[in-house]
Structures are given as structure tokens and as C-alpha cells.
Homo-oligomer: A and B are copies of this chain.
Amino acid sequence: MSAQDRSDNTSAKADVQQGTVKVSFQPSGRQFNVVQSDTLFEIAAEAGVTVDTVCGGNGGCGKCKVQFEADPPAACSLDYMHLSGAEIGAGYRLSCQVTANKDMVVRVPESGDKATVQMLHHGVERDVELQPNIKKVFIPYQDVRSHEHEADWDRIRMKMPRKLRPVHIPLALLRQLPALSRLPEGLTLALAGRDVIGLEPGNTAHRQFGVAFDIGSTTIVGFLIDLSDGSEVTSASAVNRQSVYGDDVIGRLSRSQRNPEGLEKLHGMLIGQINTILAELSRSGDAGLDEIYEVTVVGNMAMHHFLLKLDSTFLGLAPYAPVIRESITVTASELGLSLGENIPVFVLPNIAGFVGSDTVAVMLAAETTISNSYRMAIDVGTNGEMALSNRRRIIACSAPAGPALEGARIKMGMRAAEGAIDHVKIDEDVKITVIGEVPPVGICGSALIDIVAELVNCGLMHHSGAFKRHDELEKEVNSALRERLIEAEKRKDTYFILARAVDTGAENDIIFSQADVRECQLAKGAIRAGTMMLIDAMGITDDDLEEVCLAGAFGNFIDAQNALRAGLTPQVGLGKIRPVGNAAGVGAKLALVSVVERRRAIRIAQKTEHIQLSGSPEFQKAFTHAMQFPN
């Protein structure tokens, strides 16, 4: 039988006299008696044997290949188009092009069962099976033509693999169906779960993208993902312009409370920036905005409310009740995003209080909830969010760290930008590194932790956080360091010279004062007290922790040893501190490429117990204690 014959035979299969044959699938060994006129692809789909596909079994994608153990049918032109000569020689054929006209034994490639995606992002590495919520299915004209007496919607639906058969189509798309389903170039349906969200002329099954957003108080990041293979095409980010209303979320919340215009403004800024990022992703990733079929979003509770334009009056007042905890799917048009109107935006679930979906996403990405071992995740920010979990139990809280570690309230503090001292080592003298290798202009968060840890370590500071007076200094402290400690009449004005202008070529000396130490202590004390509360609530000790994940940019830049020395984190072995970078973003991506991961995120959020720290006397006690530096 020639290639031409095969292909003719397939399209004319409705006329073939029906009988039954036996088809076995390896490696499972499952065997089925089937009618002769079905393709192997259809048989596998009906039987629940997963064969890979993008186009829905119409010869469009070449992914549904299977290997004949013996006696393969003649290869058809589509086999030659999609498979290598070696594959054809080894008996591989496209299962959608083979009609089961005799008994057959075929092997389904393992990758067919699980297309996996590797998620790798600053310390988080996850292999996940590609199972996006979005699917596209191409239906060629000849398949449409043969059932013209049926309703269009039935006719189209019945040509789709049973597992993908949609149950809902919006009225606006239904109105386009009669014309689009009769085009000679065929029709591609875009599905979100069992809902049709797009109808496109021709075969566009290979073009399907999604965007995962991590919306932080400081930075908004979008990742463009190719949903046909799960790969990250490109990413784009922007500084959250809401910062003009305050670096911390409290300032922004107060602006939106009982103030619909303020809320509208904050919401509008966010949507505007998201649209800018979408446009940038579309441009640099060479994907049309109309080829983006789904968006996932994580963010803290305030960003969540601003994004959805939810009244945040009560989120900003004790006891900080959010409007909704669970995940919610809205449409791009409800939010005003410049995407198709039916495009779903899946907003991951929150926990409670200020603990938002970003914390859920961190737990999902860093896999802190899958084993019997206790793992902690800490996201250091104006509000430090932290979660302690194992397979059985998850508890979380947020602690008001304030903006010190982001550079605010520190005399010479600044963001981690060019000119910021980002690391400090105190040995015989002070060694600094500066972002951009330029003369230093200020100090960023990671260096603050270094400084306080090193000052205590080298003997210039008491464990209480007070600079020692010169007459208290041990003799081991050398003169180079002594000279940098400048005592003032008012204790809070005592300071340490971190970098002399004369040495660095900067305009000013960079100094770190007693008041700055206090700010750092308040910040790190709040974080540490939060972790103490969680450990206490779980009924364990620091020693029981298997891992402490530090999330966010801060977690990546911080020196783990100094974080331990400064008492920012639970006191575990250095090897147990794991920076996981933008794990929240990874979580958003996981929810985009896999509905299984999405369901896991939902379960994590449902299962998490929230501990309310504000107003708790135990927290106040822990806080007071945690302000000290450990011995």
C-alpha cells in the first residue's frame, strides 16, 4: 500500500466495512478489541492510553508517534514530514494516521506518557509533567464536512478526543461557529479545561502561550511560557509604580481604604504595568497577544486585592480580614488586560491575614510540604511571610518587619541598585563589595545583615546591639577598626565608618549608626520572632528543621552565614539554609504548565493554618528576645 493509498484510506474510513481487530499497547500490555475503522490515536484516547498530542490527532503536530514491534504499515507522507528516516526504519508511525485494520502491537514512547518540563530558577529545580489547563485542537475540513446534518457545535465536539471534549462555549464564540467551521483550511479550538476560549481559522495548534506573573510590592515580573512544551520563552519585569504611594503595603492600603478612587488608581497602575509587560513579552518572545491563552498570578494579599480591585478597607484594619482566600479565575476583560476577552486569569489562593498566594507559591516551588521533614520558607520583606510545614501540617504567619531591610529608615540605606554596598566582611579591616563596581553611595539589605553580624563577631558590638564604648573594646580589636567607631554624646549618634570617601572616591563616607542598628534589629527581630512562633506552634525546635528556604531577591543575595549569625533565621546548620530566589514566580509558572501543580497549590492553601501574630503577647515576648544577637 503506497503512502497515497494510506492517506486516502484514512479519510474515507467511514465507508469501510466495520469489523473488530485486537490492538495491544506496550509497555502496559493493555489489549482492546476495537472496530476496524478507528485510528490508533482514537483507540488510545478512548482507552485512556496517553499518547502525546498538540494538534488533537490530525497529523498536524507529529507528536503522537508509536512504534510497531513488527510489521509496520507503509509510512505515509505525514510520517515522512514529522519523523526521521531512522525513526521510520525503526517502525515509528504517527498513531493518528494508522487505521487499525488488522491485529497490532504498538509501543507508546514513554515521553508520550509524560512530557516533562524542567523548572530551573535561582536554586529551585523541579521536573513537572506538562499538563497545562490550555489545550488547542485542530479539526480539518474533511472531518467537519461529513456530518452536516448535525448541529455545528455537536459536529465539532464529536471530532475531538473524548478527554478534551468541551462542555461550554461562550455565546460570542458560538455565534462565529457556523462560518468558522466551514472554512476549507479547517478550524482550531483553544480550550481552557473544558471551556472553549477561542476559535481560529486553520491549524494554529502549535502556537499556544501563557504568562505567569509574580506581583510584588516592589517588582512585577512576567514570564512568557510556551505551553506546547513548557519552556520559558522570555521574561520581563518592572518596578511597581505603586511605590509612589509608599514603599510598604500599609501606606498603599490606607490610600485605598474607604476610598474607591484610591483603589481605582492603585488597580489601574497595576493593570497598566501588567499590560506593558505583556506587550514587552509579546514583542521579545515573538508571540502575538492573541496567542496568549492563560495568565496565572501570585502576589501578596495587598497586591491580590489591588489587582482584582477588591475593597481593601478591612484588610488594612485589625483583624485584617481579606475579601477572599481561595483561588479565583476571572477573565482578562474583567480586569482590563489587553488579551482576548475570554482568556482566563487564574489567581492562586491566599492563606489569611497578609499571607498571600506568593507564600503558597513558594511552598509549591520549594516543595516544603511533601516529606515528613519539617521545612521552613521565609520571604523577607516589609511584611516577612513565613511558613513551616511537612507532609502533614502547614502553619504560616506574617511579621511586620518594616522596610529597613529594603533600605528604608536606614540613614544611608538604599535599594540593591548600582552604588549599593551589597556585602561587607570585617576582618583585619573592612572589605566591601559594591553593585556595579562604582564608588559606594549607600547600603542595601544584604549588606545590613553582614554589617550587624560582622560587628558583633569582631567584637565592636554587644549581643544586645549596642556599640561598645572604646573603653569596653577587647584588646584583640585592632586600631584600624577602632578608628572607624566614632563615639557620640548621644548614644544613638555613635556610628561606624564603613567606607571612607577618601578610600573609595565616593562623595561621602558611608556610615552605619547606632540608630541604624536598632532599625535592623527591629526588622530581623520581627522575622525571627515569627519563625519562633511557628516552631513553637508546631511543637518542635530549630534542630528539627531539615531546611530553611530564603525566598525573594533578598534570599539570593544574603550571606547565609551572616543571616545565621545575625539571628535572622532559625539557628540551623549552614548547609540547611537554601536560597530559593523568586520561588513565588516559579510557583506561578508551575500552576501555568500543570493543572496538577495548580491543584496542589489549592490544597496547600486550604491546609495551611494561619497564626495571627498582631496583638499576641507571646509574639511580643519572642520579638523582644529575637532583637538580641545570638551568642
A→B interface (CB under 8 Å): 148-155, 171-172, 174-179, 182, 308-311, 313-314, 319-326, 328, 330, 334, 350, 352-353, 612
Contacts and interface: CB of A to CB of B under 8 A. Distances in A.
B171 A330 contact: yes
A75 B14 CA distance: 73
Contact of A324 (B152, B323, B324, B350): B152
A350 B452 CA distance: 75
As for how many copies of this chain the complex holds, the number is 2
B151 A323 contact: yes
Nearest to A153: B324
A154 B324 CA distance: 7
B150 A326 contact: no
A471 to B, nearest CB: 52
Nearest to A176: B311
Contact of A311 (B172, B179, B326): B179
Contact of A174 (B178, B324, B350): B324
Contacts of A171: 308, 328, 330, 334
Contact of A153 (B149, B155, B177, B323): B323
Given A171-B330, A330-B171, A150 B352 contact: yes
B314 A178 contact: yes
23 contacts: A149-B320, A149-B612, A150-B325, A150-B352, A151-B323, A151-B325, A151-B326, A151-B352, A152-B323, A153-B323, A153-B324, A153-B325, A171-B334, A174-B310, A174-B323, A174-B324, A174-B328, A175-B308, A175-B323, A176-B311, A177-B323, A178-B314, A178-B321
For A149, A320, A353, which residue has the most chain B Cβ atoms within 10 angstroms?
Answer: A149
Nearest to A308: B171
Nearest to A345: B171
A339 to B, nearest CB: 16
Contact of A150 (B153, B308, B321): B321
B321 A151 contact: yes
A475 B171 CA distance: 67
B308 A148 contact: no
Contacts of A325: 150-151, 153-154
Given A308-B171, A319-B148, A334-B171, A313 B153 contact: no
A150 to B, nearest CB: 6
A329 to B, nearest CB: 9
Contacts of A155: 321
Given A148-B319, A152-B322, A153-B325, A178 B352 contact: no
Nearest to A154: B325
A336 to B, nearest CB: 11
A367 B177 CA distance: 34
A309 B175 contact: yes
A313 to B, nearest CB: 6
B334 A178 contact: no
A174 B324 CA distance: 8
Contacts of A177: 311, 323
A311 B151 CA distance: 12
A319 B320 CA distance: 62
Contacts of A330: 171
A313 B180 CA distance: 12
